[in-house]
Amino acid sequence: MGKLQPAVKKETMNIAIYTGVGTVVMFILFFVLCKFIPDTVPFDYTVILGGVGGFIVAVLNFFLMAVTVQKVASEEDEKRARSLMKLSFSRRMLLQVVWLIAALAAPCFFWVAGFLPLLFPSAGIKLVGIIKSKITINKEVDVKQDGNQC
């Protein structure tokens, strides 16, 4: 396959950051909720293990997708490229389903804490996109008001 492209490394790091921040915020929310409703919301090792496991699966899922996209981009046969993407998708979905089953079945994981980190990469990408578009719009408004291109 060759070396990883810098974009794969950079975007995987971004996803790790988004997912890590989301997981830490999730831990804080579990801690606070546990103080108010301890009979319903736990905050113990099961929450931590679930969150760490979910973080690993979420980042691994993105990394595997990025590696596949890199491989497909260099593939000349379109039929083979489609086949590689479909196979990658199926395997990555299987990875997530196996993780969710483990998080549900194993008593060492709190399943909600294992599930939520799988949503954080998408949420992080969307949030960063919204923030960047707002910054761009604000810069364009400033340029039009100032008549200055700097």
Q: What is the pLDDT of residue 150?
A: 52
DSSP characters for 33-62?
HHHH-TTTS--SHHHHHHHHHHHHHHHHHH
Q: Return the structure tokens found at 49.
A: 């293990």
Domain boundaries, the chain: 6-146
pLDDT score at 134: 81
Query: Model-level pTM?
Result: 0.85
pLDDT at 148 (0 to 100): 59
pLDDT (0 to 100) of residue 143: 63
Is the separation of the CB atoms in 41 and 84 below 8 Å?
no
Angle, helix 45-73 to helix 78-105, in steps of 10 degrees:
180
Would you write out the chain's pLDDT as a tens digit for each of its 150 residues? Answer: 568 899 999 999 999 999 999 999 999 999 999 999 999 999 999 999 999 999 999 999 999 999 999 999 888 888 999 999 999 999 999 999 999 999 999 999 999 999 999 999 999 999 999 988 888 777 766 666 666 555
Q: What is the pLDDT of residues 62-78, one digit of tens each?
A: 999 999 999 998 888 88
**CA of 2: how far to CAs of 59, 86, 89, in Å?**
21, 21, 21
